Chain A
Amino acid sequence: MMNLAGKKVTVHDMCLRDGMHPKQHQITVDEMVTVARAMDDAGVPLIEVTHGDGLGGKSVNYGFPAASDEEYLTAVCKEVTNTRVSALLLPGIGTVDHLQMAVDCGISTIRVATHCTEADVSEQHINMAAQLNGLDTVGFLMMAHMIEADELVEQLLLMESYGANCVYITDSAGYMLPDDVTARVELARRELKQETELGFHGHHNLAMGVANSVAAVASGANRIDGSMAGLGAGAGNTPLEVFIAVCDRMGIETGVDTFKAMDIAEDLIVPMMDNIVRVDRDALTLGYAGVYSSFLLFAKRSAEKYNLSSRDILVELGRRRTVGGQEDMIEDLALDMAREAGTI
């Protein structure tokens, strides 16, 4: 491993957005405020606050949240001093109206996410965000394991051309191994403008979250997503307190207090978990079969309802090359499988 001492990395915590998935979008406004204050105190520079599926994600398909995006963002933005707040937007689910609302609530960063091959659906949203004075505008390519590095970089360049000042390689399925990350990040770093920031968002389904994030930093990424105690979809995001401790050991500068990060994970986040977020059999299947991490609980529920194996459902979803957002496919598929098994 090359010497990364002195390298600066911006860490971005996902507990209050990706963490909404394992919480079935039921994190309360009070819990968000408590967590955000602690993040501020620990020196976490950036935290994401939105419905798990982004602005406008409130739906039958993805789940109705405990409070609206507007309520969450308004409450959190006014509670933090140094920590900045981001929101996620998936075109096709949320619109520029949601984006404007989030900006009015006081976010500093908007992240516009598309499937890795469909960057062009983000043009109108990135364009608009880039024209808002000082808004940190991030393009976020999901399920990035599904295409090769050169194809991925073409899509990242599109987002850059629309006005994103930072672009992300997102391992939504937690499928990538460190070499996969290195190949993609290295090529992206070479092709993007020097001033364009580059980020990596990992999931821990193969327990590679930290290793992949270190590989990303070594290859030229300067923003890393994670979540304290890994509160996120599937087996969770890169456990951020672990990544911060590793950075500390390697001399990578995150600006976050390592012990305070550990305390947030242990004292605030773990007690919030409905079930311990870990690499269980189904989460491992996500990483193994390359399936969108948010499908986890939907597959478990459908498996229970129709007396099927959740692993079988997840493997089939991978085989069909489903993409983020297709949660509606899960019950439909489970019904097909149950009919085939003769149980309905």
Chain B
Amino acid sequence: MTAKIKAAIIGPGNIGTDLLIKAMRSDVIEPVWMVGVIPDSPGLSRAAEMGLKTSADGVDGMLPSMQEDGVQICFDATSAAVHAENSRKVNARGAVMIDLTPAAIGPFCVPSVNLDEAVAAKAMNVNMVTCGGQATIPLVYAVSRVQTVTYGEIVATVSSKSAGPGTRKNIDEFTRTTASGIESVGGAGEGKAIIVVNPAEPPLIMRDTIHCLTEDEPDQDAIIHSVRKMIAEVQRYVPGYTLKNGPVFDGKRVSIYMEVAGLGDYLPKYAGNLDIMTAAGLRTAEMYAEQILAGDFTPTAPVALEA
């Protein structure tokens, strides 16, 4: 494929940089801008070396020329606190916003579950839930597409080194947003999310446990089949998404034990929790890009927000 859709990354930190490295390999996305707020930050310098335009004036530094530069997709890898403002600004200039923060002002997108729907809805802002959500919601859905799940619960254990200051300052946002995604995307009647931070050295690879309670006796064969299929689906964008044990069936409880290793692009391999966010964000952007390239979707500034 020759044509690519131009993209901007807001936030040159760990997530933004890992995303940049992944996006450079994409067949349909071409990163052209990296935006930060700290002049000479390592993330901005690296992006500049890779040939991107950069600004340390935040999104405002890119706005005057972003349309001219052809930016149609933006990724926000900053924080929930500034996301809404960033989104409003780039939407007003006709770019779709892929939200990697927990702000969740747009619909949730978990690529292996509802990417088609999210893209078909032509939403100008989609949210990637949380790292724990990306790692577990596909498997809640894998059970709930077989039979009714009254309750879905996930436990995400991440290494201390991979839990950044943003997550730590607002850990409640993780539990709330993930629980909400377990319900609305995973299809569980009630959702519950737990996160545990473990400081062991060497750092542990992200672990995720998914517990579902089914309304009726679980159809074991159908669930095993559905879970395997879903894992293969997620592995298309996160190759280190691995079933450790299960599904375990105990009465109406179905438990699945996962490990998520990253690709080790910029972030270390143990930080599967961060990798699955950047991989899911990029996968989402690629689907949008394919729609745009096929002429099925033209991102447009929402009239109400045009300033």
Chain A interface residues (CB < 8 Å from chain B): 59-61, 91-93, 95-97, 115, 117-118, 120-121, 123-125, 320-326, 328-329, 331-332, 335-336
B171 close to A335 (CB less than 8 A): no
CB pair A59 B198 closer than 8 Å: no
A248 nearest CB across to chain B (Å) = 40
- B194 near A117: Cβ-Cβ < 8 Å: no
| B246 to chain A: closest residue by CB | A335
Residues B197 and A329 in contact, CB atoms below 8 Å apart: no
Does B176 interact with chain A (Cβ within 8 Å)? yes
Structural contact, A91 and B172, CB atoms closer than 8 A:
yes
With A61-B211, A328-B155, A329-B207 already in contact, the answer to whether A121 and B168 are too (CB < 8 A) is yes
Q: Known contacts A60-B213, A124-B170, A325-B194: does B257 contact A332 (CB below 8 Å)?
A: yes
Q: In the complex the two chains form, what is the Cα distance from A335 to B245 in whole Å?
A: 7
Closest residue to B172 on the A side, CB-wise? A95
Between-chain CB contacts (< 8 Å), 29 pairs = A59-B192, A59-B194, A60-B151, A92-B171, A92-B194, A93-B175, A93-B194, A115-B197, A117-B199, A118-B197, A118-B199, A121-B163, A121-B171, A123-B168, A123-B169, A124-B171, A320-B200, A322-B198, A323-B196, A323-B198, A324-B196, A325-B196, A326-B198, A332-B209, A332-B257, A335-B245, A335-B246, A335-B248, A336-B245
The closest CB in chain A to the CB of B195 belongs to A92
CA distance A322 to B176 in the complex (A): 25
B76 is an interface residue with CB less than 8 A from chain A = no
Interface residues in chain B, defined as those with a beta carbon under 8 Å from any beta carbon in chain A? 151, 153, 155, 157, 160, 163, 165, 168-172, 174-176, 192, 194-200, 207, 209, 211, 213, 244-246, 248, 253, 255, 257
Given A331-B255, A335-B248, 12 new contacts (CB under 8 A): A59-B211, A91-B172, A95-B172, A115-B198, A115-B199, A117-B199, A124-B171, A323-B196, A326-B157, A328-B207, A328-B257, A336-B244
B196 touches A92 (CB 8 A): yes
In Å, the complex CA distance between A262 and B172 comes to: 41
Which residues of chain A come closer than 8 Å to B253, judged between CB atoms? Answer: 60
- Residues B172 and A331 in contact, CB atoms below 8 Å apart: no
The residue of chain A having its C-beta at the shortest distance from the C-beta of B212 within the complex is A60
Q: Write the nearest CB–CB distance from A285 to chain B, whole angstroms.
A: 19
Docked Cα-Cα span, A336 to B151, in Å, equals 26
Chain A residues near B174 (CB, 8 Å)? 92
A120: min CB distance to chain B, Å: 5
- In the complex, which of the residues B171, B198, B209 contacts A321, with contact meaning CB atoms closer than 8 Å? B198
